[in-house]
Amino acid sequence: MAIDFYSRATAGVATLNPYRPGKPASELQRELGLTDIVSLASNENPFGPSVKALNAATEALTGMTRYPDPTGYRLKQAIAERFDLAVDQLTLGNGSNELLNILARILVEPGQGVVYSQYGFVAYEIAARVAQAKRTVVAASGFGHDLAAIAGQVDETTRLVFLANPNNPTGTSFDRSEFSAFMQRVPEQVVVVLDEAYSEYVEPEADLPDGLSLVKEYGNLVVTRTFSKAYGLAGLRVGFASANPELTDLMNRVREPFNVNCAALAAAEASLFDGQYLERVVQTCRAGKAQLLEGLSHLGVSVLPSQGNFLTLDLGQDSTGIYQSLLREGVIVRPLHPYDMPNHLRVTVGLEAENERCLQALKKVLSC
């Protein structure tokens, strides 16, 4: 008799929908034999990496027979210096996604509460389900986080609140005063995770809270950042969390001892101080966003206002057919059915020529 392993999984895992990543270009190439593919599906950085990061990673690889530094000493020193933090406030992660899971493992017993927004980044739901949490999904306001409603849903069972600012996949954000009002309302024993994966791209006028500067002020605030997006290191997997020293100690107990590899440690450290690279990435994204917005308005496609390196398009009809037609044109974007946004497609801002390809493909597909 075969064993039904699905029935042996914990309740949280048995009901889990796996994360659906963007389609890799290599897969589309295998399926359709296309070679000239534009990949705008995963909010990656369209530039290559910083040359400094590439050189540092390459050199670090000569040490690959050794385990990486288990404490990430040099990278943590560099992050502390760059963002004016103390090393005992820092935890490194194999991507910031790992840190979200670690927090759920530390803080949430089965049946205890995790609160996040409708359309919030899908990793929050996955972390909460695996922890067998009581999940409270708070209705969005428009497509953004309704912070007042989220605070209103925090109760005595709540252990963790996940916020993304800006949020993926909607690009929405909340400002400094909204966040400060929110933190006043949330009880001290409830940990608030502020996921700032896209903070480098934010327009200064938007006046978003600077999470890293607020960690000292709020003992229950954890801020996560990543090297996957603006720093261009998605393939190496490295991010960090800043939190009070006690929570940081707990996170460091739970993470695996060598969770960040030697190339990632070196590349992240080098990229932190490559201000020119970051500046170029952010400026190019800004120009590319304007280019896409103009092209989309000509096509009559409406777009959610976005503070990230991506735009979310409302096609006014189920996006599946258009998504598939775009694939045949060699343009990979991201359908948002997993977020119950069946009419929306998320498009990462690419280089000028990539954005143009996307617009041309969309024009062709929409006129069919």
Ligand X SMILES: *Cc1c(COP(=O)(O)O)cnc(C)c1O
Stretch that binds ligand X, among 8-16, 65-73, 90-98, 275-283 (CB under 6 A): 90-98
**185 to 214: interface string for ligand X, x by CB under 6 A:** ----------x-x-----------------
Q: For the chain, what is the radius of gyration of the CA atoms?
A: 21
Long-range contacts of range 9-15, CB-CB < 8 Å, 24 or more positions apart? 10/130, 10/132, 11/110, 11/132, 12/110, 12/129, 12/130, 12/131, 12/132, 12/133, 13/129, 13/130, 15/129
Considering beta carbons, is residue 97 or 117 the nearer one to ligand X? 97
In the shown chain, the binding pattern of residues 24 to 53 toward ligand X, with x for contact by CB under 6 A and - for none, equals -------------------x----------
Q: Which is nearer to ligand X, 308 or 330 (CB)?
A: 308
Q: Report the distance separating Cα 21 and Cα 261, nearest Å.
A: 22
Q: What's the token pair of residue 9? A: 């999984």
Size, binding site for ligand X by CB under 6 A: 14
CB-wise, 75 or 361, nearer to ligand X?
75
119 binds ligand X (CB under 6 A): no
Question: In the complex, which residue's CB is closest to ligand X?
Answer: 95
End-to-end CA distance of the chain: 53
Which of 39, 45, 50, 97 is close enough to bind ligand X by CB under 6 A? 97
Q: Rounded to whole angstroms, how far apart are CA atoms 356 and 233?
A: 25
Least distance in angstroms from the C-beta of 234 to ligand X: 6
Candidate ranges 89-97, 200-208, 322-330, 348-356; the one touching ligand X (CB under 6 A)? 89-97
Q: What tokens does 56 get?
A: 């540092």
- The minimum distance between CB 359 and ligand X, in angstroms, equals 23
Find how far residue 271's CA is from the centre of its chain.
18
Binding pattern for the stretch 224-263 against ligand X, x by CB under 6 A and - elsewhere = --x-xx----x----x------------------------
How many other C-beta atoms lie within 10 A of the C-beta of residue 36?
8
CB of 297 to ligand X, least distance (A): 25
Q: In the complex with ligand X, which residue's Cβ is closer, 167 or 252?
A: 167
Q: Residues 95, 232, 335, 350: which binds ligand X (CB under 6 A)?
A: 95
Task: Give the footprint of ligand X on this chain (CB under 6 A).
Answer: 43, 95-97, 121, 164, 168, 195, 197, 226, 228-229, 234, 239
